[in-house]
Structure 1
Amino acid sequence: MRLRSHPDFDTDPLPRSATLRGFALTPLTPAEVDEDFAAVTGAAHVLKNMFGPWPAGLTLTENLYDLAWHDREFAAARSFSWIVRDKDGVYIGCAYLFPEMGRRGAAHGFIWIIDLADRVALLDQLQAELSDWFAATLPHPVAVAWHRPTA
């Protein structure tokens, strides 16, 4: 079954990779399953309640399926997911843009950073940089409602 793209991104999907001022966005694909699984399970206490009960009890196989789904959605221009890396290339979190289905010009942005001492400051910086990047990159204005861990 072929997924249909979101109408906001039919002709202009977002880049798979990007370099922001303080971060690099790289593809969140099945090839990164080991690295992603280590980050997600290591940050489970940070992610608690951000996406319902996930990642409680997450297995490597389930994570592989999740990454394959994210990859498929990205390829279809339906939703967009990236690994967030610091300037040294270290995996420090993820960013997602989920356009609202059945509505144009609106999306939900989710960001999380592993449990670092300066995590809240990094989240603020990442959200600001992503907001700037989306404003310059999105095919037309999209209002992004931001979500991030409260823990």
Structure 2
Amino acid sequence: MVKYTPNYNLGKPEGTDMYSVLPQNANMDIIDTTLKGLDTKVTDLLADVVWQEAELLNGWESYGIGYQPKFALDKHNNLIMKGAIKNGVTTKGTVLFILPENMRPVVYRIFVTSCNNQSPNPYEYKAIELAIAPNGIVTLGSSIPYTQFLGLENISIKL
């Protein structure tokens, strides 16, 4: 007897059930409709976002075209960031950039990924701590051994 998932009512045939593609196709329709709804929500959420480029400090620079570090406020008052940076000073406490006054959370610490190309595995990723002070100064909360880049993608902080 087919059982159903609690959230999306997807059919889960038992191991002893005769298999038919019809329930599988019905599941795919449910998944497709649900994903389209999520896609629409994300598009709506970012529709009016105005991205500002970060002015990088202490030798940090954009990882390249398409990776310019940027930040914005979404319509739910979340600070969001994107991009990747490279080649800066990697000592704990180094200032990366400063957020504008309207985008400053109360003290905040987050972890982002860094690609270390000096390890035996050239694509070894490590968690690096960023600290954001109430005055908007974004610093390294931890020292970094040499990095290939520091990713800022998918950072979202409720203000």
Q: TM-score, normalised by structure 1?
A: 0.27
Q: Looking at secondary structure, tell me which structure has more helix per residue.
A: 1
Larger radius of gyration: 2
Q: TM-score, normalised by structure 2?
A: 0.26
